[in-house]
Structure 1
């Protein structure tokens, strides 16, 4: 790479680091936020749920806006909004303002990963793209590893409100990004389905509020999503391409992605609350429990892609889902045991999810034509980010049900936490059934294509 390209990659990775950390840091601080504002799990979950919903919609939005506006302008706007939300959050004195600040943060932070992928494919030659995306992926893993321990230390010794100030450091990337990103002219003749984006975001948020607050919100969510379907069918440039959803293997792979991201985000939401309640740990110690697994993933995660290429994505996914399910079952059983064991099994969860992420990302492109890749991968990212948002919303609701003991092997009185992890076992294993259906459809498609080719006249 040239010197300018190296500087561009460095500045992008610097911004990605803080965008990723902002998404993971507040998980560790949730017990303290709940204590400070006297919140129930369903209420405090919106610190991460609200961020996740806006981040999901925002990632697709910035990807579409990049077809109409220069990337350099969009990334400046995104980072500026990200930092504005961070400053607002630091000075927020009421829980409602904290949530508002998180939503502003997410609407800006969503620009960073979406535009980083576009920069890698748009401004680098094919032989360099994998190299650039590898740096971005490593930065994501590093952010997920550093986030929990930094969050724990800041929350314990300074207070969780100081977590809002950390992303402001990302502004230092702006001068270098402005200097290294090529100048572009705005595209002409394109359009953006803003109404579709608003209907989808408000519909999903209303559904989640319906689960946690009132059934009227749920009804409103159903109506908004119905209007969203009408909008994308009539719009010349719909926010979501309906024609892709007619591809059954692709549609099922989107569902698998949502299920497995749901599992991971639920676990990362439950664990800090569990470690606080069952083990009495402070935020700094909670970060230390989660740190080793995330760092192992950062170190070993790049090797799973090679395994996927060698043994096939479905085989790696099956093995990784089984390991994740066993780890969830173990976490359901050892609640109240030493935090060391909790750290060991969450490390297995993180490692198996890294294998799932790399193999599923490769496999989901198989049913798509070359012309559908860009839109198809954007829709895949949307489905996984939504799984990330839905997980904490449903997990927090389940905790408040105070269910009786389901796991006969556990002696812990914290039955709701134990049962929640058993449900994650069921959700993870259900993805294997969906994967089997996908493989049957894809084999049937290949067989039909081969028979059609054989019947063609020579």
Structure 2
């Protein structure tokens, strides 16, 4: 890796850190927002929901734009939007201004992970991609670990508005990115605006259906049907129809859905377990999660190196096994010891970080080079949807109050044990999906 590539990796990780912080810090500030603007829980939740909607749609849109326009131009636009939304939020006096700020933030922040993945696939040879994505995975793990602690401290010492101004620090990387990113010419082709709108509305309706009203799911299906009909007749559609015919790509997206479903559901189930079973407060719950997040951050680059050495499919397999066994262990020991839960989380977080370091490169290897941007954008969207579905569906499962399923569990709090067992089964299922995908033919990139 030369000096220019090293600068590019460092600057990408820097802005990814701010993107992750922005997504994790605000959760701890929701009570302050609710109190200041006299909001109900459903009302204040829109601070998170609108950001999530825009971020999900934007991840695919920026990926598609990267197939046409230079990444350098798109990342400048994204960072400027991200910072503009942050400034609006910092000076907001009314709740509607906060919502507008989060919409603008999301439209800019979505560019960061989407374009970072495309840049990793486009500007680095295949034998270095795992190493690069290892740095990205470590940064994400560190951001997840430090975000709630940093956000809580800032909101408590200063004011929730200061959380917005933190994200403006991402602009410091802009001169380095402009210097490190290679010069590119605009590619031939046009952007399918109608296709993007139909796809975006379908995604938005689906996410609203999962989080609010089931009738939005019906509306989402309608928009996706219209989108499918549109791309069949459009000369240069938002997403090429043959991308959906790439079976290995589809199977890897399903693998990602299972992994992100399981991992993000952990952040919902375990705080409930630690509060209800172990009687821990918020601060102690954060400390239970902290070691796993930090160790995953420290070892993420190592996982990337191993991916380059032994192949991403090997790392994906063993990382999924680590996650599945970790969930099974917690299911069995859920009422035994907080220390064992914290230790087991190290393996779950390390497995997830290793998958993050390997999966994007593995997916990119199945795509035609002209479809890398939108393909990785769909991967980002799938990961996001898995992270949304996990907590929502597992929360519904816990309300069923099921009896004990795991014979290794000593008894008591069976619903929590069964919830973790369900996550273990989903993770084991992802191994079957991965095995099938490895038998499928893939696209071979024309040039590395």
* CA distance 1:154–1:311, shift in 2 (3 Å): same
Residue number in structure 2 paired with 1:452: none
Does 2:326 correspond to 1:327? yes
Distance, in Å, in 2 between the alignment partners of 1:249 and 1:121 is 18
Match of 1:403 in 2: 401
Partner of 1:63: 63
Identify which range, 173-182 or 51-60, moves more after superposition.
Answer: 173-182
The equivalent residue for 2:41 is: 39
1:112-151 alignment to 2 at 5 Å? Answer: 112-119=112-119, 135-151=135-151
Identify which range, 146-155 or 121-130, moves more after superposition: 121-130
- Check whether the contact 1:365–1:373 (CA below 8 A) recurs between aligned residues: yes
* 2:260 aligned partner: 261
Out of 26-35 and 294-303, give the one that drifted further: 26-35
Distance 1:190 1:141, change over 3 A: same
How far 1:3 moved relative to its partner?
Answer: 6.8
Deviations 1:132-185 (A, max 9, x none): 655545433432333243234335555655433321222333355456656766
Q: Give the distance between the partners of 1:176 and 1:127, measured in 2 at CA.
A: 24
1:82, CA displacement in angstroms?
Answer: 1.6
Aligned residue in 2 for 1:219: 218
**What secondary structure does 1:214 align onto?**
coil
Q: 1:297 to 1:176 in 2, by over 3 A?
A: same
Once residues 247 and 192 of structure 2 are traced to their aligned partners in structure 1, the CA distance between those partners, rounded to angstroms, is: 25
Root-mean-square deviation (CA, aligned residues, Å) is 3.9
Q: Which residue of 1 aligns with 2:353?
A: 354
Counterpart residue number, 1:204: 203
Distance change >3 Å, CA 281–CA 199, structure 1 → 2: farther
Moved more, 268-277 or 212-221: 268-277
Offset at residue 260 of structure 1 (A)? 0.9
8 Å CA contact retained: 2:269, 2:416: yes
Deviations 1:41-88 (A, max 9, x none): xx8776656544432331232233235445444323212222333344
1:197 Cα shift?
2.5
Q: Provide closer, same or farther for how the CA distance between residues 427 and 392 of structure 1 changes in structure 2, counting only shifts above 3 A.
A: same
Q: Secondary structure at the match of 1:238?
A: coil
| Alpha-carbon distance, 1:351 to partner | 0.9
Gaps of 5+ in 2: 444-448
Distance 2:402 2:219 in 1: 32
1:426 equivalenced with 2:422 (yes/no) = no
Q: CA deviation at 1:291?
A: 1.8
Q: Encode CA deviations 1:281-324: one digit per residue, 9 max, x unaligned.
A: 45443332222111111222223344445555444433332321
Aligned equivalents of 2:215, 2:203: Cα separation in 1: 14
1:94-147, Cα deviation, whole Å (9 max, x unpaired): 877766544432221111223334555666789987776555454334323332
Alignment partner of 1:75 is 2:75: yes
Aligned to 1:454: none
Q: Distance in 2 between matches of 1:29 and 1:345?
A: 29
TM-score, normalised to structure 1, is 0.78
Q: Quick check: 25-34 or 249-258, which moved more?
A: 25-34
My pick for the range that moved more, 324-333 or 390-399, is 390-399
Structure 2 distance, partners of 1:208, 1:351, is 28
Q: Hey, what's the Cα distance between the residues in 1 that align with 2:29 and 2:405? A: 28
The equivalent residue for 2:169 is 169
**Contact 1:48–1:392 at 8 Å: present in 2 too?**
no
What per-residue deviation string (whole Å, max 9, x for no partner) do you get for residues 209-237 of structure 1? 32443332221111111112122222222
Listed one character per residue, the Cα deviations across residues 234-287 of structure 1 (whole Å, up to 9, x for unaligned) are 222222222022122322121111111121122124334544555554544333
Structure 2: distance between partners of 1:307 and 1:182: 27
Counterpart CA distance in 2 for 1:201 and 1:336 is 43
Q: Which blocks of at least 5 consecutive residues in structure 1 are unaligned?
A: 446-458
In structure 2, the CA distance between the partners of 1:179 and 1:157, relative to structure 1 (3 Å rule), is same
Q: Is the 8 A contact 1:322 1:429 kept in 2?
A: yes
Mapped to 2, the partners of 1:423 and 1:378 lie a distance apart of 28
Query: Aligned in 2, Cα 1:235/1:308: closer, same or farther, shift over 3 Å?
Result: same
With the length of structure 2 as denominator, give the TM-score of the two structures.
Answer: 0.80
CA distance in 2, matches of 1:402, 1:156: 37
> Helix, strand or coil for the counterpart of 1:364?
helix
